[in-house]
Amino acid sequence: MTESDPRILYVFPGQGCQYRGMGGDLLEAFDGPREIFSRASDVVGYDMATLCLKDPDSELDLTRFTQPALVTHQLACLAAFNECLGDSNVTPAIAGGHSLGEYSALVVAGALSTEDAVALVKRRGELMGEYGEGSMLATTLDLVTARALADQYFCGIGGCNLPEQTVIAGRDADLDALETEIGERFPRKRAQRLRTEGAFHTYLMVEAARRFREVLDDVEFKPLQTATLSNYTGGLHEPEPQGIRSRLFFQLFNPVLWFACMETAFAEGIDAIVEFGGGLGTGETPAEKRPNLAGMVKKAQRACSNDATYHAAINVDGIRAAAEVLG
């Protein structure tokens, strides 16, 4: 790359963008994704391609399966992108991920191997599914208003995605009552339940986090080679392994500070963004899916007066298009 080349941010989405058929197009078109799926299968002890493409036992939406499946798909999209680039020297200035996606970002940054990332999120998903309870509610409330409501109903803030997009999480009965009050007091505000098995990133995840700390301690982390965003702090990770471990521990029961992460990235002069993995929408094929983070990222750009180009590398066509532009 030269001084005129863009400073690129790689981003990876979190839970909720998994779908049956995920990765089928990649496995047909590229060698790199086939290797990623094979390595992931060896780690988890089941065939990852069968889970993602066919989901024969309807398990893909269970957290213990969702998390390793999504990280596998994200890294497979990245492998396909690199394959398309060929000899082009394209590297990100910063990597970041929303919640679960932070693990894929740490692979990009050299802190984790593919195998260790898949193993970590497999166990993370198991613990969150086993010890978690409740659910999550995405709202168009600002943080101050959302926190005041959450406190009344013994709920917590699970994410600060935008200045007026706050996720509230708690036990189902508490969240039901809170949602009713939102409808009565704020009729113009939206509230939507998310596809999760628990009140992630709140105090209801403390037991899962306590048990996950032992898992984190057993995995080898290496110093960062690429700047990486921390959901817990909203800034950049410290480069040393112990700092990374502690941030991933605290991430489990503290809000995802996504808008703060975007502010940090934009302040670093990011002018191109590539999203890898997952997909939303009612269409059944990868080509019909839309990227998970695009809306939040573009709204964050407008709020911060940032004009970075955005590329969705979530299926074969999008990956090839992004590689052609950036390579």
- Judgement on whether residues 70 and 172 belong to the same structural domain of the protein: no
Which CATH number belongs to the domain containing residue 165 in this structure? 3.30.70.250
Residues 170-205: pLDDT tens digits?
999 999 999 999 999 999 999 999 878 899 999 999
Phi, psi of 44 (to 5 degrees): -85, -20
The DSSP symbol for 229 reads: B
- Write out the residue range of the structural domain in which residue 117 sits: 8-131+202-326
- Judgement on whether residues 169 and 212 belong to the same structural domain of the protein: no
User: pTM for this one?
Assistant: 0.96
Residues 106-126: pLDDT tens digits?
999 999 999 999 999 999 999
CA distance 54 to 222: 35
Query: Is residue 187 exposed (0-12), middle (13-18) or buried (19+ Cβ within 10 Å)?
Result: exposed
Indicate whether 1 belongs to any domain.
no
CB-based contact 129:198 (threshold 8 Å): yes
Residues 211-253: pLDDT tens digits?
999 999 999 999 999 999 999 999 999 999 999 999 999 999 9
Which CATH number belongs to the domain containing residue 274 in this structure? 3.40.366.10
- Judgement on whether residues 174 and 121 belong to the same structural domain of the protein: no
Short-list 319, 317, 300, 318, CA closest to 308: 300
Residues tagged active-site: 99, 201
